[in-house]
Amino acid sequence: MDVLQMSRVRCVGVGHKGFGRGAESPMDEIGVRCQHLGTLFVKLLGNAFKRMGQFDLHAWGFRSHDISPRVMVCYSICLFCLSNQVPVSRRCPFNPATVSPRLRAMIDPASPYRFCVAPMMDWTDRHDRYFLRRISRSARLYTQMITTGAILHGDRRRLLDFDASEHPLAVQVGGSDPTALADCARIAEDWEYDEINLNVGCPSDRVQSGTFGACLMRDPDRVADCIDAMRRAVSVPVTVKCRIGVDDQHPHEALPGFIDTVAAAGCAVFIIHARKAWLSGLSPAENRSVPPLDYPLVHAMKQRRPDLVIVLNGGLATLGDAAGHLGLVDGVMMGRAAYRTPWVLADVDRLLFHPSAPVPNRWEVADAMSRYAERRMAEGTPLKAIARHLTGLFQGLPGARSWRRTLSEEVRGPDATADLIRRAALMVSRRAEPVS
């Protein structure tokens, strides 16, 4: 299927209230072209606009110095199609692989937050991050949350050590005492992390009892004090990951006020999980899925505060889901999907960062992880601590069940070696791997 017609759309008459009238409107023209592109593309295009909430370019927050909205529309649709395995002709001027340097500079700014993998408790440890980095070299990675008490009084090497290849890498810290957070920020900078992120979104009982995490959404002045102290202590960026509100707060009132207060203390990057958090009545797992998503509110924060970096998090299951937001915010953050189906990251570098980036190979990734496991096991790390993160690597391919079963069961054997990962990968059929 070829979407060359996308480049022929007559993009004229764009005004503050949307597209122009009659046959000159891109939406009308696209509708005509879609008759020749097949029902699959019609469905993809419709879903893309549905995810955006409304087809209103002015509401996207474009300003006079931005690239023309009509160009961004075509480019975004091409990204969406590519990420859903719908080929885009190399002759198409918006194809990321052939786009001119001038156009790329306009539509594809080198934002370090363009695509991020969320911090996830018990999941994004150093072994998982090393694994994910074998799939994407450009995605920004985050540690699982580490409390100030653990950093100040615990085993720092176990908590903070990482492989140099994990950069760009941020550490997420949980706490609410400005002095302790400043001390932790200094330690993290000495450990050569690229960013210190403050957790203002976790709703667990343990976090609430320590008066940090999502409950800090109620106290933006304290968060501002924490950010100010941390920024004074380090030179690397200090950022915030938050919710749109908690409990009975009205997000459309609470979130703008929270952002303004914390931004006044010097925070320039806000990663916003587009759900409220209920501090009582819902478990942490339920808080990740039950409260409804409010993407338009996060989009509106970027429009309202164009001076800030706004990253959207929550409910992003595919790269297509993520790409649909990149014209509305500065970046996206994917969580559980990146862990459970890690091959979703395989197209991130090529589609969102560098069109000439090499396409990774699953079996080569498995081989790299076998070598990594061999090194770590020599230092005393159990094989299961590494293998548990790899079970989703071959998701959807014939033999994936054997791969998962081998890593889950045989890894516990007394004679299990790092070569188990290589042997398990041989059970998966290479013939089913799609050609990029």
**Count of alpha carbons within 13 Å of 408, Cβ hemisphere only?**
8
Question: Rounded to an integer, what distance in angstroms lies between the CA atom of residue 321 and that of residue 222?
Answer: 34
Residue 347 dihedral angles phi and psi, to the nearest 5°: -100, 0
Assigned token pair, 56: 């209103």
> End-to-end alpha-carbon separation of the chain, Å?
14
At position 137, the amino acid (one-letter code) is: R
Q: What are phi and psi of 276, to 5 degrees?
A: -75, 160
- Three-class SS state of 29: helix
Q: What's the maximum distance between 2 C-alpha atoms anywhere in the chain?
A: 72
CB 383 within 8 A of CB 417: yes
Query: Could you give the CA distance from residue 67 to residue 52 in angstroms, rounded to a whole number?
Result: 19
Q: Are 229 and 259 in contact (CB under 8 A)?
A: no
Please return the burial class of 17, using the count of CB atoms within 10 Å of its CB with bins 0-12, 13-18 and 19+: exposed
Contacts of 64 (CB under 8 A, 6+ apart): none
Q: Is 74 a catalytic residue?
A: no
Q: What are phi and psi of 340, to 5 degrees?
A: -75, -35
Catalytic residue among 202, 226, 242, 267: 202
Measure the CA–CA gap between 72 and 27, rounded to whole angstroms.
Answer: 14
Instruction: Determine what percent of the chain falls in helix, strand and coil, rounding each to the nearest 5.
Output: 50, 10, 40
Collapsing DSSP states into helix, strand and coil, what is residue 297?
helix
311 beta partners: 271, 331
CA distance 98 to 324: 20
Q: Which tokens hold the place of 319?
A: 């790269």
> Which among 273, 306, 275, 269 is positioned nearest to 293, based on CA atoms?
275
Cα angle vertex 125, ends 122, 131, to 5°?
120
Instruction: Give the active site residues.
Output: 202
